[in-house]
Structure formats: structure tokens, C-alpha cells
Amino acid sequence: MEKLLEVKQLTKKFGEVVAVDTISFDVRKGEIHCLLGENGAGKSTLTECIFGYYHPDEGTILIENEVVKIKSPNDAISKGIGMVHQHFVLVQPLSVIENIIVGTPAATLRLNKNKTIKKFDKLCENYDLNIDANSIIWDLSVGQQQWVEILKALYMDARLLILDEPTAVLTPQESEKLFKILRQMTQEGISIVLISHKLNEVMQSDRVTVLRKGKYVATVDTQKTSKQALTNMMVGREVIFRVDKEEIPVGKPILEIKDISIKADWGGDLLSQVSLSVHQHEILGIAGVAGNGQKELFEALVGVLKPNSGHIFVDGTEITSAQPQEIMDLGVGHIPQDRYKEGLIGEFSIAENLILGMQRNPQYSAGWFLQKKKIQAFAEKCLKAFDIITPSQQTSINNLSGGNAQKVILARELWQSTKVLLANRPTRGLDVGVIEYVQKQLLQMRQEGYAILMASEELEDIFNLADRIAVIFKGKIMGILKTEDASIEEIGLMMAGQQI
């Protein structure tokens, strides 16, 4: 098969950090080629260099065996390279067609929409997609918005399509449909570079290139490898997949959420009559695509957002309109969805972050004054117990990796809480090793008697850890099933809004 794209010895540095270290690989015409690697492996940086967003320090890029210099994304697009990022770059208040025209030759003083609409409609027809060219972006679902991003690239006649974690925001059914259409595209001669860490999807590609810490590890034919082999290459050592979850009889309900509703400023419902109860020794998983009310639910539970109606109880005490401090005092811990914004102070040291929320606690302060020695001792304990890798406890959180920062939060919340743990996307953006660790910790807490409410977009996490699964869609609970009775298909349908 012919090579469409070839990258030779590409290097990209950011200061002293070598994000991409002399990586070479190639993409054949009409293949789905996966780039696999953990955080910081260099996948995004590499593709951004191909897309012209970054300029490589060293190395060459060849398209159809001709050396090219890609000076900007515009340049890349004109050479037939399209990219869909993890965070969409669509203009929300504008229509689909306006988003497609922006930046193209058709965007002159008089917008020549008709030609564009014709071409767009033809593309939609070809791939059996149903998107109205004149609809406004913010009326579309996240899945549909992603299609607009992909169609934008195809409209510009992309021969190479780079997709960065495309299924992060899709239900299982939507992912299936995406892959079907990707296959159709490859049959038409388009090559696809897929950045993904979801091994299920990676196994659907033709070839996989594994990166680790900025370096090239290997390129393998997907047919000839396995999930285990790929993980080992990604991490550099043997990784055992299995999560040992023992059967534990649940205790009494500790966290009771009754008919919680929260209205949005624009009149719609952020949460609608949500009722859940979490027992001791139980993990209740909330499955759902991000943006369906998980954020608001957790904010209400933590005390940062007041529900319009309904009641929340922790071990019998009502906390519906309680302040965060009161809820913390009742033994509730929280692993926030956005760890840097809601859970950590980047400029503070690890030690200072470990006592965030406890700075007036007699354990760490005497009267007005902080007890530096006691804080230091506590921090030492945490660093050891959670294997947090850092030069010192005085290092600021901003200088830590995402995984180590999450461990700081975990250490703190485990220590501060006694009864309930609210975990919102606890393994997001973490490396395989840390994910393992976090899962172990959560199961440990379950064994100790905590009631754990966990929201996650990764169905694998939910199925591995949860005893029961609740599916949330547009602020409503679509159903609650025992994990052993649930199937991915059922959950996927509920995530897309279908009542079972």
C-alpha cells in the first residue's frame, strides 16, 4: 500500500521538555492508523506538528513522498490534512454552514452559502448523516457537533483526517456509528489517524503506533497484536488488567438524594427529580456523557449549588441547603471533576494543598497559627502512603503531573472524609498506572464502609467498580441497574435518552 504521510525523525521541544523525540512513522492511503500512548507520550504534540499548529524543531514531513513544510493549519488544510480536536473549535452562536465557510475562500464579503450548502448536503448524504446545514451549533448535541467538525475537514477535501479522542463524548452506539463511517471513508481512499487511549477502539484500527514519554516504541498490525501487548508497550511493563472486586453486603443508606431539581437561567432543567441512594460498602456509578447534569448534581451535593426543590440527607442529617463546610464536617469527601479549578491551588505546595479545608482544624492549627511541624508530618505520611512522586512536599502543585495531583486530592479526601465519597470523573486524564491505583483506593474505601457516588464517562470504570449503575441524561435518571444485570447496550441506549 502506498504511503500518504511520512514523518521522519520529528522532534519538538518546549524549553527543556522534549515532547516529541525523533519520532518516525508513516500512514498508508486508506488506513485507520491509531496513535496510542499515555498522557505526555507526545501524541497530541506530534499531530499538532503535522497539522501546522506547532513547528517541529527537527525532522521532515512528507506527503506522497514529497517533502513539505507545513507553516500553519491553513497550510495543512490546503495540503489535504484535516484535524478534529478533543475540544471543539466551533462557534456556538453561528450556524453549521457558517462554521464551515469561515476561513475558506467562499467567505468573501458576500457569503456564497448556496454552493457550500450543496456540497455539505452531498457529504451528509454520502455518509448517511442527518444534519441541517442551517441549524445553530448550540442546538446540536455533542455528538452532532463532532460530526460538524469532521464534515468541516471533509469539506476542505481532506485526504488525511486526524481525530483526537473522538469518542470521549459519544455513547457506545454513537461510537459504533462513527467507526462504521470511518471505514466507509477509508474505502474511498481517505486515511485516518486516530488518537485514542480506549483499547476497544484501538483494536478496530489497521495499524497502531505506540508512543511512550515522547519516544517511538513500535508500529504493529492490529490484527497481529492484543490489548495486553499494547498496554505493556504503552506503559513499558506488564500491566494486569483485572480489578478484584469482592462481594460485600451493603449496609444502610448513607447518602439519600430525593427528587432534586435545579432549573437553569434559560428555563430548562439542569436536574429533574433526581433520586438516588447510596449505601455503606457500595459504589453507585453514574454513567452518562459529560454535560448531562453530573456537574450540577455534584455541586448540589457539595453545597456549592442550591437545589430548587428536593432533599439531600447524609446519614439522616439534611444537607439540602447546607454550606460546604457543614457537609465536609459530616464526613463527606469530594474528588472534583476539574481538579485544578475546584480542588487544588496550583501555586500552593503539596503540603498546603493537603490541608486545604482543614487549615483551622485543631490537628493543624493552634488558635490563629498554623502548626508547620504537624502539617509537614502529615504531608510526609501522605507522600509515602500514596506514592506521590515529587522532589519535596514544598513543590507547588503546578509542577506535578496530573496523576500525582490527583493523588494529592485522593490523599486529602480520604483523610478528611469518613462516610461518603463523591468522585466525579476520578480517573480522567490519568495514566494507566495511576488509574489502577485510584481504582484500588476506591475499592478499598468501599470495603471500609464508605458510600461512594462515582460519575464517569468511561464505561469500563463504571463496570469495573460500581455495584449499581444509574444513567443520567439531560438531568434525568433514566434507570438504575445492578451492574451484574446490566449490559453495555442497555446502558448505551439510556445514555442516549431512551427509556428502558
Partner 1 sequence: MIKLEIEKRKNVGLVWQVLSFIIALFAAMIVTGCLLYWAGLDAIEAFLAVYEGAFVGVEAIVETLVRATPLILTGLATVVAFRASVWNIGQEGQLVLGAIFGFWVSMEFSYLPYYLLIPLVIVAGFVGGGALGALCGWLKSRYDVSEIISTVMLNYVVIYLLTYLISGPWMAPGEFYLHTAPLSENSILPTLLEDTRLHGGFLISIVAAIGIHVLINKTSFGYDIKAFGYNSVACKFKGMNVPRTLVLLMMISGGLSGLAGAGELFGVQDRLSGSIAQNLGFTGILVAMCGGLSPLGTLLAAILFGGLVNGGFMMQILTGVPASMVYVMQAVVLLFFLCSGLMATFRIRIIIQKRVKQ
Per CB under 8 A, residues contacting partner 1 are 8-9, 14-15, 57-60, 302, 304, 323-325, 327-328, 334, 336, 341-348, 352, 356-357, 359-360, 365, 368-370, 399
Q: Which of 297, 288, 294, 291 is nearest to 493 (CA)?
A: 288
Q: Return the DSSP state at 241.
A: -
Instruction: Give me the least distance between CB of 422 and partner 1, in Å please.
Output: 11
**Complex with partner 1: residue 192 or 328, whichever CB lies closer:** 328
CB of residue 340 to partner 1, shortest distance in Å: 8
As a whole number of angstroms, the distance between CA 462 and CA 439 comes to 10
Q: Least distance to partner 1 from the beta carbon of 129, Å?
A: 38
Whichever of 217 and 351 has its CB closer to partner 1, that residue is 351
**Least CB distance from residue 427 to partner 1, whole Å?**
20
Q: Which is nearer to partner 1, 58 or 387 (CB)?
A: 58
Beta-carbon count within 10 A of 308 CB: 12
Count of beta carbons in the 10 Å neighbourhood of residue 347: 10
**Min CB(378)–partner 1 separation in Å:** 15
Closer by beta carbon to partner 1, 129 or else 304: 304
8 A C-beta contact, residue 146 and residue 129 = no
Q: What CA–CA distance (Å, rounded) separates 158 from 186?
A: 12
Please count the other Cβ atoms lying within 10 Å of the Cβ belonging to residue 74: 11
In the structure grid, which three cell numbers stand for residue 357, read together? 479545608
Please say which residue, 57 or 436, places its beta carbon nearer to partner 1.
57
CB closer to partner 1, 266 vs 369: 369
Angle at 134 between CA 128 and CA 140, to 5 degrees: 70
- What is the rounded CA–CA span in Å between residue 39 and residue 435? 12
Q: In residues, how long is the chain?
A: 500
As a whole number of angstroms, the distance between CA 137 and CA 145 comes to 7
Rg of the chain, C-alpha, whole Å: 24
Residue placing its CB nearer to partner 1 in the complex, 10 or 170: 10
Minimal distance, residue 369 CB to partner 1, in Å: 6
C-alpha 460/C-alpha 167 separation (Å) is 14
Closer residue to partner 1 (CB): 88 or 348: 348
Distance of alpha carbon 85 from the chain centroid: 13
In angstroms, give the least distance from the CB of 273 to partner 1.
Answer: 25
> Alpha-carbon distance 29 to 190, whole Å?
7
Name the minimum Å distance from CB 230 to partner 1.
29
The one-letter amino acid code at 104 reads T
Would you say 328 or 382 has its CB closer to partner 1? 328
Using N-to-C axis directions, what is the helix angle for 372-385 and 402-416, rounded to 10°? 120
Write down the least CB distance from residue 416 to partner 1, Å: 9
Report whether 274 contacts 474 (CB < 8 A).
Answer: no
**What are the residues whose beta carbons fall under 8 Å from the beta carbon of 225, sequence distance 6 or more?**
208
d(CA 53, CA 306): 42
If the CB atoms of residues 19 and 34 are measured against partner 1, the closer one turns out to be 19
Minimum distance from CB of 421 to partner 1 (Å)?
Answer: 15
